């Protein structure tokens, strides 16, 4: 194992007062392993390959199945229009079955994350998947619109773990230079497998009835529950401050690693108090498999105080222009994706597609998911390392904004293509390709905005990451909720044209953020240094 220096006196660290970025590549051209793994065998970074695989596979399976069941009704909405229309429920209300769960995914994020911080990641994850499992059974046996709608809300709340706890667990078992690829796998498998499952949903509904849409997910989520209980190990770990090349490196409770300036290091150590205990890491025994299955951890400190402090830091993150931008960008792109999914059922049927074949549009989601992974994940990681090398080994968050140029162009093209062909008079290839191109941009933006958010606000990057990932669902709800009324009042070209203008404007905001956000970070560092003197 690599030798690592321990900090005995934080004042001995190199007093770098104004950080311009993190040293991702050292003078020899080698990639730094951040966070720095400890000598503790129970450190998640020191998990065996199969233990890490258990965490990653469990997280991906849970996220895929929960988000698929929440967002997969688009291909069979016509079934519910007909069924609940006979009960006197309007079409606008039937659409709630698809829009409101997405809203409550964001709300659930703010509820589940504090539980995971207090009682451990396993407890929050197990609770979430059990609730989702029960709610999905309830949807399958629901007898009216009211029951169905209420249980869909519960599904959304439980799915909030996929936007908070699960990305946190993935970050806690990986190094910084690996996270673009790992998050790429996470978001891409969600999109690809969800598309495959939704592809089959219209055939399921036609052959077996709509209830089997849920029974299939009951089985799948049940498998996920088994994986989580027996393979998703606890990743919560209080990582000590580390000393690297004369600088202090810390990893916060949200799994985000950063290099501190001299002033930040003093403040962090003061707040940490005596948590950096002197018991040697290498003297700790490795937990047995059954010890690793413990479903919860003993709370440290006041649970109420932890919850309030977590919420405060999450809302405080929005004082950063970079975090505001990442939130708006992810929200707009997600809202466009959800909104388009609510309309393609009617659009494709107007081109003569049988209702049972509508799910085939999700073939575009499969190829789009892989395209986003290749661009933002694999190519994105390579680009970030090359940009750091060109900057003397220094990586800054704004390097990731350059990668958003291509997805921005794709978003504009996809929305215009869909808008001018969805109303008829063209070919079904127009809306099909519009959806496919949007999925490439959607996955790319998810990966890039997640990675950027983890770095853009240096004071508390962990809460910032969670705030972006969770809040995007709440804002996206407003965008997707308003699309159908706009189409009804105006037309597809006008409605999608409005979305194109909004989306393009948000992407262009990345230009001032690219230049202003570094200046804002330096200003905040100066203010922090003044407060400590």
**Domain interval for residue 399:** 48-235+312-532
Q: Are 233 and 54 in contact, with CB atoms under 8 Å apart? A: yes
- Output the pLDDT for position 503: 95
For 337, residues 6+ apart whose C-beta sits below 8 A from its C-beta are 438, 439, 442
Q: Within a domain: residue 390?
A: yes
Q: Residue 526: pLDDT band by 50, 70, 90 thresholds? A: confident
Whether the per-residue pLDDT at 256 is higher than 70: the answer is no
Say if residues 432 and 358 touch (Cβ distance below 8 Å).
no
pLDDT band at 392 (very low <50, low <70, confident <90, very high): confident
CA distance 388 to 399: 8
Sequence-separated (6 or more) residues with CB below 8 Å from residue 265: 10, 13, 241, 248
Residue 18 covered by a domain: no
pLDDT tens, residue by residue, 213-226? 999 999 999 999 99
The more confidently predicted of residues 266 and 206 is 206
Instruction: Name the H helices within 249-402.
Output: 262-272, 289-292, 303-316, 321-341, 344-350, 363-372, 380-390, 399-402
In a domain, 191, yes or no: yes
Alpha carbon 169 to its chain's center = 12
Integer Cα distance of 374 and 148 in angstroms: 38
Is residue 366 situated within a structural domain?
A: yes
State the Cα–Cα distance between residues 470 and 100, nearest whole angstrom.
Answer: 14
- Region 287-314: mean pLDDT is 84
Domain count across the chain: 1
Start-end of H helices in 490-509: 492-508
Distance (Å, whole) CA 363 – CA 358? 11
Question: What is the CATH classification number for the domain harbouring 404?
Answer: 1.20.1250.20
Helix (H), strand (E) counts: the chain: 22, 6
Q: Is residue 350 part of a domain?
A: yes
What residues contact residue 390 under an 8 Å CB cut-off, 6+ apart?
none
Nearest to 471, CA basis, from 369, 339, 332: 332
Distance from C-alpha of 527 to C-alpha of 525, rounded to nearest angstrom: 5
Q: What is the DSSP letter of 98?
A: H
In a domain, 375, yes or no: yes
Per-residue pLDDT at 154:
96
User: Predicted confidence band at 181 (pLDDT cuts at 50, 70, 90)?
Assistant: confident
Tokens 């993190």 belong to which residue?
22
Phi, psi of 431, rounded to the nearest 5 degrees: -65, -30
Q: In this model, does residue 325 exceed pLDDT 50?
A: yes
Tokens read off for 306: 């932890």
- Name the residue with higher pLDDT: 210 or 280: 210
Range from 97-106, 132-141, 299-308 that averages highest in pLDDT:
132-141
The model's pTM: 0.78
CA distance 166 to 465: 12
Residue 328 lies in a domain: yes
**Strand-pair partners of 31:** 25
Q: Alpha helix locations (H) across 342-404?
A: 344-350, 363-372, 380-390, 399-402
Residue pointed to by tokens 């395209």: 371
Mean pLDDT of 248-252: 63
Contact indicator for 263, 255 with CB cutoff of 8 Å: no
What proportion of the chain, given as a percentage, has pLDDT over 70?
83
Query: Which residue do the tokens 């108090």 mark?
Result: 273
Highest averaged pLDDT of the listed ranges 183-197, 257-271, 311-325: 311-325
* 529/275: higher pLDDT: 529
How confident is the model over 324-333, as a mean pLDDT? 94
Q: What is the pLDDT of residues 3-55, one digit of tens each?
A: 443 333 333 444 444 455 555 555 555 566 677 778 888 889 889 999 999 99
Say what the pLDDT of residue 401 is.
Answer: 92
DSSP state of 403: T
Helix (H, G, I), strand (E, B) or coil at 295: coil
Instruction: Return the pLDDT at 258.
Output: 60
pLDDT digit string, tens, across residues 62-75: 999 998 898 888 77
Average pLDDT, the chain: 82
Asked if the model's pLDDT at residue 412 lies above 50, the reply is: yes
Whether 451 is in a domain gets the answer yes
Q: Residue 99 forms beta bridges with which residues?
A: none
What pLDDT was estimated at residue 103?
Answer: 87
pLDDT of residue 10: 37
The Cβ of residue 313 has, within 10 Å, a number of other Cβ atoms equal to 19
Give the pLDDT confidence of 447-494 residue by residue, as tens digits.
888 888 877 776 666 677 778 887 888 888 888 888 878 888 888 999
pLDDT digits (tens, 9 = 90+) for 495-523: 999 999 999 999 999 999 999 888 887 88
How far apart CA 10 and CA 82 sit, in angstroms, is 67
């Amino acid at each position: 194992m690599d030798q690592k220096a321990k900090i005995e006196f934080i004042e001995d660290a190199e007093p770098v007062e104004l950080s311009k970025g993190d040293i991702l590549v050292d003078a020899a051209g080698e990639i730094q392993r951040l966070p720095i793994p400890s000598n503790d065998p129970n450190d998640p970074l020191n998990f065996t390959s199969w233990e890490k695989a258990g965490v990653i596979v469990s997280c991906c399976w849970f996220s895929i199945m929960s988000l698929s069941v929440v967002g997969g009704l688009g291909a069979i909405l016509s079934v519910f229009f007909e069924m609940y229309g006979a009960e006197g429920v309007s079409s606008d209300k039937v659409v709630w079955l698809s829009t409101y769960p997405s809203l409550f995914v964001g709300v659930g994020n703010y509820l589940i994350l504090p539980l995971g911080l207090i009682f451990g990641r396993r407890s929050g994850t197990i609770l979430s998947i059990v609730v989702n499992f029960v709610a999905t059974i309830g949807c399958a046996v629901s007898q009216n619109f009211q029951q169905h709608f209420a249980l869909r809300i519960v599904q959304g709340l439980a799915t909030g773990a996929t936007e908070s706890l699960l990305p946190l667990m993935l970050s806690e078992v990986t190094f910084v230079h690996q996270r673009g690829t790992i998050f790429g796998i996470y978001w891409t498998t969600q999109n690809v497998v969800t598309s495959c499952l939704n592809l089959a949903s219209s055939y399921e509904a036609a052959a077996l009835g709509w209830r089997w849409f849920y029974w299939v997910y009951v089985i799948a989520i049940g498998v996920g529950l088994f994986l989580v209980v027996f393979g998703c190990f606890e990743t919560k770990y209080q990582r000590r401050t580390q000393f690297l090349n004369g600088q202090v490196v810390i990893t916060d409770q949200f799994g985000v690693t950063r290099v501190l300036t001299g002033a930040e290091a003093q403040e962090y150590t003061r707040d940490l108090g005596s948590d950096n205990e002197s018991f040697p890491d290498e003297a700790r025994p490795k937990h047995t498999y059954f010890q690793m299955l413990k479903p919860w951890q003993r709370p440290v400190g006041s649970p109420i105080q932890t919850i309030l402090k977590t919420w405060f830091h999450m809302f405080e993150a929005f004082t950063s222009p970079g975090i505001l931008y990442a939130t708006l960008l992810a929200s707009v792109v997600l809202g466009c994706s959800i909104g388009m999914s609510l309309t393609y059922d009617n659009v494709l049927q107007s081109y003569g597609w049988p209702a049972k074949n509508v799910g085939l549009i999700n073939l575009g989601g499969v190829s789009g998911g892989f395209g986003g992974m290749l661009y933002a994940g694999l190519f994105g990681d390579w680009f970030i390392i090359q940009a750091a090398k060109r900057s003397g080994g220094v990586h800054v968050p704004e390097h990731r904004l350059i990668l958003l140029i291509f997805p921005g162009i794709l978003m504009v093209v996809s929305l215009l293509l869909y808008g001018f062909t969805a109303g008829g008079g063209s070919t079904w290839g127009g809306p099909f390709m519009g959806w496919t191109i949007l999925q490439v941009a959607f996955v790319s933006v998810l990966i890039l905005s997640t990675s950027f958010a983890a770095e853009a606000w240096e004071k508390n990057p962990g809460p910032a990451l969670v705030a972006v990932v969770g809040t995007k669902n709440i804002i996206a709800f407003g965008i997707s909720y308003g699309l159908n009324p706009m189409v009804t009042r105006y037309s597809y070209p006008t409605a999608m044209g409005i979305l194109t203008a909004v989306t393009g404007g948000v992407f262009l905001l990345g230009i001032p953020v690219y230049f202003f956000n570094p200046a804002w970070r330096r200003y905040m560092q100066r203010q922090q240094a003044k407060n400590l003197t």
